[in-house]
Amino acid sequence: MRMVIGAHGMRPARMAMRRSVVSRSAVIAAAVFMATVVVAPSMALAQTREVPQGRGEIQLSFSPIVKKVAPSVVNVYGARVERQQQNPLFEDPFFRRFFGGDFGVPRERVARSLGSGVIVDPSGIIVTNHHVIENMTEVKIALADKREFECDIVLRDPRTDLAVLRIRDKGVKLPAMELGDSDALEVGDLVLAIGNPFGVGQTVTQGIVSALARTQVGIGDYQFFIQTDAAINPGNSGGALVDMKGRLVGINSAIYSRSGGSVGIGFAIPAAMTRVVVESAKSGGKLVKRPYFGGRLQAVTADIAESVGLDRPTGAMVADLRPGSPAAAAGLKRGDVILSVDGQAVDDPDAFGYRLATRPMGGEATLTVQRGSRKETVRIRLAPAPETPARDEVKLSSRTPFGGATAANLSPAVAEELSMDVSGAGVVILDIGEGSSAAQVGLKKGDVIVAVNGEKVGTSRELDAALSRRARYWEITIKRGEEVFTAVLGG
C-alpha cells in the first residue's frame, strides 16, 4: 500500500498503486534505458564538451539563497501531558491501607512531536503543519542560531493541515521569509527544501518541481499540492519549499514512501493557501473563513465531456445546488461544467475547491462555465457560509451516553467547519471530550442526532431537554455520512 508520511509517521493514502502497473512501468523503463544505451554513443559524438571557462562556472552554488532563507526555518517541538486511566479499585481504602497512599495514583507520560516551521512575520508568527502540533498543549521553536522561544498556538486549520504559532516574547524581531507566488511555478523549476528531517538538525535539499496541482493525495480537505523530488523525510513537515529568489512557495507536508524514507516524491501545500491561513490568524480569527459555494460537484468523465462538447474530461460539474447559496444566486445550473476560476484552469472538483478557497473574501470571482454546447461567464459572490440558524452550542450532561460531547445546530457554516456535505436543519456533534462517555460509546464528531428515545430532535436545546429526562436506556438515531442507524445504550 502506498503510504503518505508526515511528522508523526505513516498514513495510508486514498489511492493504491496496483502491482501490475508497477511491473509494467519497470519493463517500460528498462526498455527505454536499453534504447538509450544503444543510441547514446552516436549522439555523444555530435556533442561538444567544453571545459569550464572560469572560476565562476566551477563555483556555482545555492549557498546565497540558503544564507538568505535558512534563518527563517525553525524546529518545532510539541508536548502534551497524558494521564493514564485509573482503575476504580485503586480508590478503595483497603488497597491504599496495604499498598500505600500513592498506590493507584494516575501516572503521567509526556507525548511529544517534532517538525519544522517557517517564520512569516518579523513579530514572531510561524506557520507549520497542523499534524505537527495536533493535540499538543505546549509548543516551542528553536532557531538556526540556537535561540529558543515558547509559542502560543494562534490558529489550527486541520482542513488544510496548517497551523499558525506566535512566540510569547514581546518586542523580539525574527528573520521572516517572503511568501512567493505559487501560481507562477512551472514544472521543472528548481526548488530547495529546508527542514529538520529525523531530528538531525536543519538540512537543505535541492530538486525540481515535479508536478503541480496534485489532487487525490489523501491529505486534508484541499487537495492541490506541489510535487517535488527534493528529499523530504519525517521531521521536514512544516518546513519550507523555496524558489530560486529565496521566497516561500510551499509548506512541505508529506511524502510517498514504502520504506519510511524519501523516494523523491514529496508534497507541499502551495503558498497561496498558506497566505490565506496566515492572514486569518493575523486578523485574530480562530477559524479560517473561506468563500462559500453552496453546491455539490462531481468529476467530469469522458462520457460527460463528450455530451457537453468538451474535447477531454476536465472541469467540475455541478451536481446539486443549495437554495439561496452563492452558487444558486450566481445563476449556476445542474449540469454546468466549471472550467476556470478567474482565468485559472480547473481540472477537477478538488482544483475548484482550492481556487475558490484562495480567493479574497468580499468581492466576486469569475467562473468560465460550459453549459450545453456553449461557454458562458458567471460571477459568484465571495462570502462566508451563513451561520443560520445560530449554532447555540450545548455541553451535554455527563449522566447520559452523550456526556462530554458538545452539540450545536447545523448550519452551512458549521457544515463547512466540519467538512460535511449536508443541507437542512439538525443537531450535530461539534466536539467530544477525550475519555468521555460519548467517546467510549463511539459517538463521533460530525454525527447528526436525529432522535432520542423515539423523539425527533431539531435543535441543540431540544436534544439537551431530551437528555435531561431520566431513562433506564437510551435509544439514539444517528446520521453518519450517508448512513442512518439506531443504537440502544444502557442508562
Annotated catalytic residue, options 131, 157, 210, 348:
131
| Residue 121 a catalytic site member | no
What are 286's three cell numbers? Answer: 480562530
197 contacts 7 by C-beta, under 8 angstroms: no
> DSSP class of residue 85?
P
Hey, which residues does 209 pair with through a beta bridge?
228
Rounded Cα–Cα distance for residues 127 and 146 (Å)? 19
Hey, which residues does 407 pair with through a beta bridge?
394, 429
Hey, which residues does 166 pair with through a beta bridge?
125, 152
Annotated catalytic residue, options 116, 237, 253, 460:
237
C-alpha distances (whole Å) from 271 to each of 240, 277, 357 are: 10, 10, 13
Total H helices, total E strands in the chain: 12, 27
Phi-psi domain of 274 (left: phi exceeds 0; alpha: psi -120 through 50; beta: other):
alpha
Amino acid at 115: G
- SS3 for 275-303 is HHHHHHHHCCCCCCCCCCCCEEEEECCHH
Cβ atoms within 10 A of the Cβ of 347, count? 18
| Residue 161 a catalytic site member | yes
| Residue 373 a catalytic site member | no
Rounded Cα–Cα distance for residues 84 and 44 (Å)? 68
Q: Between β-strands 448-452 and 473-480, what pairing exists: parallel, antiparallel or unpaired? A: antiparallel
Annotated catalytic residue, options 157, 161, 447, 464:
161
Residues that are catalytic: 131, 161, 237
